[in-house]
């Protein structure tokens, strides 16, 4: 009798946990929507700045990565504070909220995966009701106040983020600029006592940043790429980032070089997607002085960020 009572006592926490989970998720989690529904907090953290309209991925031992996002349009409440990735969905189904359907009764009850799905191909559901980090079928909206409260990312960016972060990753949304961690200072090691004087080390001479031109410049057709190729300071920023990328590749062992070169190519494609979304110029309008000035300022900022990221690599 005592052994039977002990066995039943050990079943109570399990039953209590099952009831608690059912209360937290009254609608349940459909197996076809969930890539993962449980996980542990990793060394990664996501920080989203509403002022910057950027998502930063912080990882121990690696430089921060940064991606543009669309945030809630004016008049839409945007959550602030701490949450986490509760669920990952590949090829998600979009279901408008009750408020969205009241505002627009023509909305369907759901939109299946496909090119017309507003969530794109990937979604990271957060702890706030109906709030997610997801892709989009409107990449031009990224970097703007355009969403219904969620955080939209470019297709290539959300695909990369989806693979990098597990369920349980902490997410913090801040209204002001993000304070990124500074590199850890080197630890000074005391030299052992020596009977002979130690000659001073020669001064370190910083190598000039190599400038590598973009091979696409000869056939560039897109207005933004033509601006980068023809405006001297933009070409210099772009060329220095390319030169640093090549220096980085040359320093790697041969067995790692191909994979790193492919990763850099993917990064360059994501950069092109970002400037297309943020600095967009209608073809033929780049001759307008006001349009050209705005686009050049936007490109200058984007290229400067890219160069800093290349320096930290």
Determine which one of 10, 56, 150, 248 is catalytic. 150
Q: What is the largest CA-CA distance in the chain?
A: 90
* Residues 67, 244: Cα–Cα separation, whole Å: 20
Alpha-carbon distance 57 to 86, whole Å? 17
Query: Is position 279 annotated as part of the catalytic site?
Result: no
Q: Could you say which of 10, 56, 134, 248 is catalytic?
A: 134
User: What is the distance between the terminal CA atoms of the chain, rounded to a whole angstrom?
Assistant: 66
Is 134 catalytic? The answer is yes
CA proximity to 125, closest of 92, 147, 155, 98: 92
Catalytic residues: 134, 150
């Amino acid at each position: 009798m005592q052994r039977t009572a002990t066995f039943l006592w050990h079943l109570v926490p399990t039953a209590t946990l099952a009831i608690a989970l059912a209360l937290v998720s009254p609608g349940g989690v459909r197996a076809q929507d969930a890539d993962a529904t449980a996980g542990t907090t990793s060394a990664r953290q996501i920080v989203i700045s509403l002022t910057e309209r950027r998502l930063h991925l912080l990882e121990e031992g690696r430089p921060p990565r940064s991606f543009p996002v669309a945030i809630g349009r004016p008049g839409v409440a945007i959550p602030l504070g701490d949450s986490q990735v509760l669920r990952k969905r590949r090829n998600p189904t979009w279901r408008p909220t009750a408020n969205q359907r009241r505002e627009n009764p023509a909305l369907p009850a759901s939109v299946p995966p496909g090119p017309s799905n507003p969530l794109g191909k990937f979604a990271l559901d957060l702890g706030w009701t109906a709030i997610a980090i997801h892709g989009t079928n409107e990449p031009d909206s990224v970097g703007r106040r355009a969403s219904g409260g969620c955080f939209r990312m470019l297709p290539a960016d959300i695909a990369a983020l989806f693979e990098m972060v597990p369920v349980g990753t902490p997410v913090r949304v801040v209204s002001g600029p993000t304070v990124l961690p500074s590199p850890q200072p080197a630890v000074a090691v005391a030299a052992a006592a020596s009977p002979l004087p130690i000659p001073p080390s020669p001064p370190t001479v910083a190598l000039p940043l190599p400038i590598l031109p973009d091979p696409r410049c000869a056939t560039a057709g897109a207005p933004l790429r033509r601006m980068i190729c023809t405006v001297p300071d933009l070409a210099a920023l772009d060329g220095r980032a390319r030169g640093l990328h090549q220096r980085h590749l040359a320093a790697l062992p041969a067995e790692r070089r191909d994979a790193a070169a492919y990763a850099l190519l993917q990064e360059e494609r994501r950069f092109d997607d970002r400037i297309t979304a943020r600095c967009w110029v209608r073809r033929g309008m780049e001759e307008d002085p006001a349009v050209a000035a705005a686009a050049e300022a936007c490109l200058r900022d984007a290229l400067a960020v890219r160069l800093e990221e290349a320096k930290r690599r």
